[in-house]
Amino acid sequence: MALTAGIVGLPNVGKSTLFNAITKKHILAANYPFATIEPNVGVVTVPDKRLDFLNDMYKPKSLVPTTFEFTDIAGLVSGASKGEGLGNKFLSHIRETDAIVEVVRCFEDKNIIHVENTVDPIRDIEIINIELVLADLEVVENRLARVEKKAVMSKDKDGLKEVEILNRIKDALTNNIAIRGMEFTEDELKIIKPFNFLTAKPIIYMANVSEDDLLNEHIPNVDKVLEYASKENAKVIRVCAKIEEELSDLEDEEKINFLNDIGIKESGLDQLIKATYSLLGLKTFFTTGTDEVRAWTFVDGMKAPQCAGIIHTDFEKGFIRAEVTSFDDLQKYGDEKLVKEAGKVRVEGKEYIMQDGDICYFRFNV
């Protein structure tokens, strides 16, 4: 299951530069609004040092990391939900994503046009977030117009439940409250899931700063974003899109040296992936062998058969058991044989809840 995130923001805040950096796609990043017209989709591999260890141990013919998919859309403007700047079309491209990454301009540069003429991160955030709210509100109102009268007249239980939930959502959105800030039961979440509401998606703010400000502890514009995000328990990642673009052209060792030279522990992309994994409750398990070592993403709380199904649906249908070794044990003992001798290889059944770092061999029969 590939993780997907939609990148949004006003024009000229550094979205496309950041997208260039993290996917090495080198798309158009021009200094004028709507330089990006069609959505750009790029896939980046998820860094995981455990894969390096497993690669050294098994020396497989193929090493397959898990992936992270980004969708970059054109800069949104006020009125986007009503079609300004072709915004309505652009918003539709991120409805299928798992999370939203909102790039916020926190750098001053008189040579780069700002669509609102001044740099004000909170104003920019609110412009984007209001457009997301309005887009969701339109979906709710259109749906209610089709089903509310019919549900009331027929007294259909399921229809009335949907109408009740949609009216609650409508009230929240009308008061500029994002759907992710509301509480729902599991059954209610199943009802609203097909709508792919934009404001129901978890959000991460990426504060794009100048090269000079990247290491500064307190930057007024970033502090404003941090304060705003804290009100909705959202994560803020400080990034310099220009530096990320430079990093994208370097080999791994050169990248590490570059980061060390400028005093940064990890790139903005690595921070983003970790933050998004945590936000979405994602974990990683591995399958290993001389033919292939592979990382697989799963949702925390999934049981062994479900994780087997990520590899192939037949694995879940005919699941018998899973032979499981934790990565930490393999790293500690340094050899499969020694892990077995230490009694650290477990046989788990259908009710086993998978853990991050599990190395699995699934037994199945169909």
Nearest in space to 344 (alpha carbons), one of 362, 352, 332: 332
pLDDT at residue 173 tops 90: yes
Amino acid at 126: E
Nearest in space to 358 (alpha carbons), one of 273, 296, 282, 276: 296
Q: What is the mean pLDDT of the chain?
A: 86
Can you give the pLDDT at residue 115? 62
Can you give the pLDDT at residue 40? 72
pLDDT at residue 10 tops 80: yes
Write out the two tokens for 259. 């980061």
pLDDT tens figures, 176-185: 999 999 999 9
Can you give the pLDDT at residue 309? 96
The top-scoring range by mean pLDDT among 103-112, 143-152, 166-175 is 166-175
Amino acid at 114: H
pLDDT at residue 256 tops 50: yes
Average pLDDT, integer, range 273-298:
92
Q: Among 82-91, 113-122, 242-251, which stretch is predicted with the lowest mean pLDDT? A: 82-91
pLDDT category of residue 44 using cuts at 50, 70 and 90:
confident
pLDDT category of residue 27 using cuts at 50, 70 and 90:
very low
Can you give the pLDDT at residue 78? 54
Nearest in space to 121 (alpha carbons), one of 15, 224, 12, 16: 224
How big, in percent rounded to 5, are the helix, strand and coil portions of the chain? 45, 20, 35
Distances 347 to 156, 183, 291 between C-alpha atoms, Å: 48, 38, 23
Nearest in space to 344 (alpha carbons), one of 320, 323, 322, 321: 323
Can you give the pLDDT at residue 26? 43
Q: Is the Cβ–Cβ distance between 15 and 100 less than 8 Å?
A: no
Neighbours of 172 (CB within 10 A): 19
pLDDT at residue 218 tops 70: yes
pLDDT at residue 356 tops 50: yes
**Alpha carbon distance 255, 265 (integer Å):** 11
pLDDT at residue 359 tops 50: yes
Average pLDDT, integer, range 240-249:
86
Q: Is the Cβ–Cβ distance between 41 and 71 less than 8 Å?
A: yes
Can you give the pLDDT at residue 252? 79
pLDDT tens figures, 86-115: 445 557 777 888 899 999 999 887 766 666
pLDDT at residue 332 tops 90: yes
Can you give the pLDDT at residue 249? 83
pLDDT at residue 202 tops 50: yes
Average pLDDT, integer, range 68-76:
70
Can you give the pLDDT at residue 77? 52
Q: Is the Cβ–Cβ distance between 4 and 71 less than 8 Å?
A: yes
Average pLDDT, integer, range 123-133:
91
DSSP assignment of 75-92, as one string? PP-TTGGGTGGGHHHHHH
- pTM for the predicted model, two decimal places: 0.81
Can you give the pLDDT at residue 177? 93
Percent of the chain with pLDDT over 90: 54
List strand residue ranges (DSSP E) for the chain, in order: 3-8, 40-45, 62-64, 67-72, 99-105, 203-208, 235-239, 282-287, 292-299, 319-326, 346-348, 358-364
